Structure formats: C-alpha cells, structure tokens
Amino acid sequence: MESVSLVIVLLAALMIPLLMARLHITNVPTAVAEIITGILLGPSLLNVVPTNAALNQLSSLGLIVLIFLSGMEIDFSLFGRQKDGSQQPGPVSIALLAYASVIGMALVASLLLQATGLFSHPVFATIVFATVALGVVIAALKEKELLSKPFGQTMLLIAALGEVVPLLALTIYSAVVHPTDKSIWLLLLIFVAAIVLLLRFRRPYQWFAQIDKSTTQLDIRLAFFLIVTLVTVAAQVGAESILGAFLAGIVMKLLHPREETRDKLTSIGYGFFIPIFFVMTGVKINLRTLLADPASLGLIPLLLLGFLLAKVLLWPILRRRFQPRNAIAGTFLISTTITLVVPAVTVGRNLGIVTSQQAGAFTLAAVITCLGAPILFNTFYVQEKEDYQKTVVHFIGTNILTVPIAQQLTKGFYDITLYTDDATRYKTYNSETNVRFLDEFTAAKLQAADAFQADIVVLGYFDHDKNYQLAQWAIAAKVPRIIARFENKDIQSSEYDELTAQGVEIFNTLEANISLLRALIESPATVRILSDTTAGIYEIVVRNRRFTGMQLKNLPFIDEITVSQIYRDHEFIAPHGDTQIQLGDHIIFTGDKEAVGDIRRQVELLN
C-alpha cells in the first residue's frame, strides 16, 4: 500500500504542472497547487493517500532540499556597496529598514492574536508572521525581469532577510522552549562547521570541474555531502535540521558552482523531492476536523490578517524610493509566505505548542497569501524609469589615448568617468567628457573618489611603473576587470608577468599596431568590419537566465546577427545551431549597430 500511495503522489506531481499549463494558470505558484492537490487527495476529501513512513521520510528530505536550494538563492553581492551613484536610498538600507518594520509589526500582530485567546505563543507567532516566501518572490521577479533593477534587488533582500532571520530565530526558540542536555551555545558549532567546510572545499571544488565526468557527478555528490553533514551536526547540537540544510546551501553558493550544477540540483529537488513535500503537506491538513472546530476555523482569518499586518509598514518605506503603485505591489509581494511556514508549524507541532488544527490554519492562511499576493503584485506593478544597468568604466589617466576611446564607446551602455592628476589636462579635456581632477593619486584619495567603484578600470598612463602601482591598488580594491597600458617590456622587470598572473589585461600599442597591419594584409575584410560605421564585431555576456539552455538557433534575434565564437570557461567554442547557451557565456558576433542595443538589453539583463 505504501508503494501505491507513492505512485499516486508522484502522478499528482507530474500532472499538476501539465494541467496548469493546459489551463493557462500562471499566477498561482506551483507549490500552492501541490498543497491544494494534497488536501484533495488526503482525508479532507478523497482520502486515497494515507501517511506512512516512506512518504514521511521522502517529505522530510523534500523539506531539507527545499531549504538547501533556498540557501543557494541568497545573492551576497547585493549587500555590497552600490555603484550607481544615486543619491536615493540604496536597496540595502531600504531592505534593512523595511524588514525591521516587519519584525515590529509581526510582534504587534502576535500580541493581538494572543489577546483573542485563540493562540497563546506570541513569540512563535511573531516568527511565523515575519516569514517571506523567498522562492515565490524570486519567481515573480524573474518573470518580470526585475532582479537587475533597484526594485528587484530591494525585494530580494527583504525576502532573503524574511527567510534567514526567522530560520535562525526558530532554531533559538526551539532550543529555549525544548531545552536538552546540550547548551544553547553549541548552536555556534554548526556555523563553525559550515565555515570549515567552505574553506576545505573552496580550492578542491574548482579542481572537481576538471576531473568530473557523467558517471561521477562530483558536484552533486559534494552538495549532498554538505547537506547530510550539516544536518547531522545540527541534530547533534540540538538545532533544527532546516538550519543545517540552509547553511549547506549557503556554503554551496559561496563555492561558486557552475550553472549546470545549479540546474542539476534544481532538477533533483523540484523534479522529485520537493513536490512530495508540498503534496504531503496538503495531505496532512484535515479540513473536516479543521472546519468542525469553531476555534480553529476562526483562527484562519486572524492569521491571514496577521500575515498582512506584519507587512503593512512596507508601503511608506518603499515609497521613499519607488513609485506609489510599485510600493503597493512590493508590499503585496513580500506578504507572500509559505516556504518557511510549513516547516515552522512542523517544528511547533514537535514542540507541542501547535495542535494539528492550528497547524492546518497556519498553512491555509499561508496558502491564501500565495494565491492572492502574486496576482495583486502583477496587477499593481508598473515599469520603473531605469530598466538597464550601465557598465561603469573608469579611466585613470586622461590623455590623447583615453579621451577618444571614452568618447567613442557605445552611448547608453557605459557610465564613463576619467580621472587625472594633471591640472592642465583637466582644463583641456573637462569640456569634452566627464573628467575628475585629483591633486595627487594615492590609494586613499582614489578610494575616496570612488575611482575603483567600477566594473572596468582602465589604466592609461604611458608610464608603466605608474600603471603598475595603480594596478596593485585596483587589485586590492577587487575591481572585476583591470586593463593596463604597458608600453615597455623590460626583460629585467617582472612587473608585466606579475600583472598578467594577477588577471590584469595588458595592452601595448606597438603589438596592437603590428596585429592590425598583419590583419590588413591577411584579412582585410575583417578590418573593414571593425571600422565599418554600420556593422561591427561585438561581444555580449549572457546574464539573463531566460536564455539559459536555449539553443543558438532559437535565439529571438538570431536572424539579425552572425555568431562567430562563444567564450566559455576560459575556452573558445565553435558555435553550432544546436549549441546551448549557458549563463556567463561571452557571445562574439557581427551585426548591424542599430540592432546591438536591443540585443544587449535582452541578453545582459540580470535575471
């Protein structure tokens, strides 16, 4: 009978997305549809899927994998300093203030709930009311291609806090309410274990990619090793298993896995384990018992009100940066919660502070938010003014080489600033382009002037010793790309080789002229393309996940360009029609200059 129940659950998991696609249901998250299906298959209606040991174990694994993948969704780069130069509040400051308001209002809502006499554990209720469904938020932002915009970054940060903070709070609360012979300070050991694993596998993980093959799948084996290890450590120190799974996801994220690894883990999780978890969550809700209990029935609207009340102050905070309609849309989106509510009520039941009927009420209230909030978000959201993030390029050194290049870079795609310590050059060029004057170049003054807050820093002095020193400061500032002019190759100097080994891109005008002259002799048509006013050779980087896995021949703009090379993982790949695009690919192509702008906007949009 256990195997029959598993077959029914897996059949339901298979049919749900097919029916949703057939009926054009796009506003309801798949997880919500799976919970509703579980309610229909369970004792609430058909009663064809009884709970058993096998399904419970698979459901627990599904929860652990779900939380692991949630940990992998945390984008730590969003916590860094913003480079847009805007005087408006940044995503980090808005998100921190917004989530602080969520915690405060969640406490207010839980105290009001306690006053009704229907639920007497306000701290637990505060934790649940403060949760946000990170997965649902990410899906909604991806659908509208908002992750690269300040609005999307802000929503993602709030949602990340709405998963991390309640998860940690739930772990500590569980240890306090249900004390064991283990000290609460032992919880720190799980963080120590996560750091040790991160440091231990950082370098070997890069080596795995070189020796991996289809029969070993080392990246997947490592992922599950991290999960089991940290979940085991969590159990040994008295923490919840979901904390170990979440930290395992963060460790895996910080190892910088390849996109194929993320896809494989997502496929394993959402293809098998996670649907079982959500379906079984619905199976465990007994609506007949819930509806027969007036107290539990009356709890559902109060819990729904609590979820909404906890997010009510988001609107005035988001209004400081975004349009009123989008502030409302963001408030509704952050009101979405389900991912952590279900494991939270499971913990609550294990602690004996939540009854089966109350657990069902919490889950149903969360399901209602998932049904309504995404629809309201899509209804209210309107496009903000800024829809493309320019590449920030800073030239250190203002002269007859760097000024023309800055003027000729494709307009609309680059935010360009030139820096000089020569007052005469500043007076000469400041009327022609954006030039900033510093009385001297030191590491401190360049940092204070945000010279290294850029995607690309070009060091354009003729003096190679000066460029070498500037390059060292730029490397220390962790500039993503550094291009340095190096005219003199002194065989007794190791500076050239040092910079190359450190990842600095070196250019030499003599070598460039030799290459150009050789190209004029051997490939004159190629040089004509480079200098043509209507066509040219271009390079775009795939950042939009919408194109991940798409075959080259299926690109919507493939008729307008000719792809010559794809640069992937430090190697050039000869493109074919069935070559699949991967995140981070550098696509080198020829095409009409008029079409390049729209293609770049589509492909390089972070999503």
pLDDT of 17-47, one tens digit each?
Answer: 999 888 888 767 788 888 889 989 999 889 8
Q: Which residues contact 102 (CB under 8 A, 6 or more apart)?
A: 130, 132, 158, 162, 310, 311, 313, 314, 334
pLDDT of res. 529? 60
Phi and psi dihedrals of 417, rounded to 5? Answer: -135, 135
How many Å apart are CA 467 and CA 391, to the nearest integer?
A: 22
| Residue 194 CA from chain centroid, whole number | 20
Q: Is the pLDDT of residue 590 over 70?
A: yes
% helix, strand, coil for the chain, step of 5: 60, 10, 30
Q: Which residues contact 582 (CB under 8 A, 6 or more apart)?
A: 259, 260, 542, 548, 549, 568
Domains in the chain: boundaries: 2-182+256-380, 391-513, 523-603
User: What digits encode the pLDDT tens for the residues 183-195?
Assistant: 566 777 888 888 8
**Identical fold, 2-182+256-380 and 391-513:** no
Q: Is the pLDDT of residue 387 over 50?
A: no
Mean pLDDT on 499-511: 81
Phi and psi dihedrals of 540, rounded to 5? Answer: -125, 150
For residue 437, the cross-strand partners are 420
- CATH number for the domain formed by residue range(s) 391-513: 3.40.50.720
Residue 207: is it exposed, middle or buried by C-beta count within 10 angstroms (0-12/13-18/19+)?
A: exposed
CB 487 within 8 A of CB 467: no
Mean pLDDT on 263-268: 87
Q: Is the pLDDT of residue 300 over 60?
A: yes
Question: What percent of the chain clears pLDDT 70, i.e. is strictly above it?
Answer: 88
Query: Of 84-93, 356-365, 441-450, 499-508, where does mean pLDDT reach its minimum?
Result: 84-93
Higher pLDDT, residue 35 or 122: 122
- Kindly report the average pLDDT of the chain as a whole number: 83
How many Å apart are CA 118 and CA 358, to the nearest integer?
A: 9
Under the banding of pLDDT at 50, 70 and 90, the label for residue 581 is confident
CA-based max dimension of the chain: 88
CB 320 within 8 A of CB 89: yes
Q: Is the pLDDT of residue 490 over 60?
A: no
How many Å apart are CA 223 and CA 233, to the nearest integer?
A: 16
Structure tokens of 195? 């750091």
Under the banding of pLDDT at 50, 70 and 90, the label for residue 385 is low
Q: Is the pTM for the entire model greater than 0.75?
A: no
How many Å apart are CA 110 and CA 349, to the nearest integer?
A: 18
Q: Which CATH superfamily is domain 523-603 in?
A: Regulator of K+ conductance, C-terminal domain (3.30.70.1450)
Amino acid at 45: L
Higher pLDDT, residue 386 or 444: 444
Query: Of 81-90, 455-464, 467-476, 555-564, where does mean pLDDT reach its minimum?
Result: 81-90
pLDDT of res. 31? 80
Computed over its alpha carbons, how large is the radius of gyration of the chain? 28
Q: Is the pLDDT of residue 394 over 90?
A: yes
pLDDT of res. 124? 94
Amino acid at 575: P
Higher pLDDT, residue 509 or 425: 425
Sign of the C-alpha dihedral computed for residues 353, 355, 361 and 367 taken in this order: positive
How many Å apart are CA 283 and CA 34, to the nearest integer?
A: 10
CA distances 269 to 23, 123, 264, 279, 305, Å, are 25, 31, 9, 14, 32
Q: Is the pLDDT of residue 499 over 70?
A: yes
pLDDT of res. 272? 92
Choose the CATH number for 2-182+256-380 among 3.90.50.10, 1.20.1530.20, 1.50.10.20, 1.10.3720.10: 1.20.1530.20
Structure tokens of 51? 């709970």
Looking at mean pLDDT, say which of 59-68, 136-145, 283-292, 563-572 comes out highest. Answer: 59-68
How many Å apart are CA 603 and CA 580, to the nearest integer?
A: 14
Q: Which residues contact 486 (CB under 8 A, 6 or more apart)?
A: 464, 467, 495, 496, 499, 506, 507, 508
Mean pLDDT on 490-518: 75
Higher pLDDT, residue 243 or 492: 243
Looking at mean pLDDT, say which of 123-137, 549-563, 587-601 comes out highest. Answer: 123-137
pLDDT of res. 107? 96
Cα-Cα end-to-end distance for the chain: 44
Q: Is the pLDDT of residue 546 over 50?
A: yes
pLDDT of res. 85? 47
pLDDT of res. 333? 93
How many Å apart are CA 425 and CA 399, to the nearest integer?
A: 7
Mean pLDDT on 309-337: 93
Sign of the C-alpha dihedral computed for residues 344, 349, 279 and 366 taken in this order: negative
Mean pLDDT on 80-86: 50
Higher pLDDT, residue 566 or 388: 566
Which pairing describes strands 561-568 and 571-573: parallel, antiparallel, or unpaired? antiparallel
pLDDT of res. 229? 93
Under the banding of pLDDT at 50, 70 and 90, the label for residue 328 is very high
User: What digits encode the pLDDT tens for the residues 412-463?
Assistant: 678 899 999 988 888 888 877 889 999 888 999 999 999 999 989 999 888 8
Q: Which residues of 269-296 are buried (b: 16+ CB within 10 A; e: fewer)?
A: bbeebbbbbbbbbbbbbbbeebeebeeb
Under the banding of pLDDT at 50, 70 and 90, the label for residue 351 is confident
Mean pLDDT on 499-528: 75
Under the banding of pLDDT at 50, 70 and 90, the label for residue 131 is very high
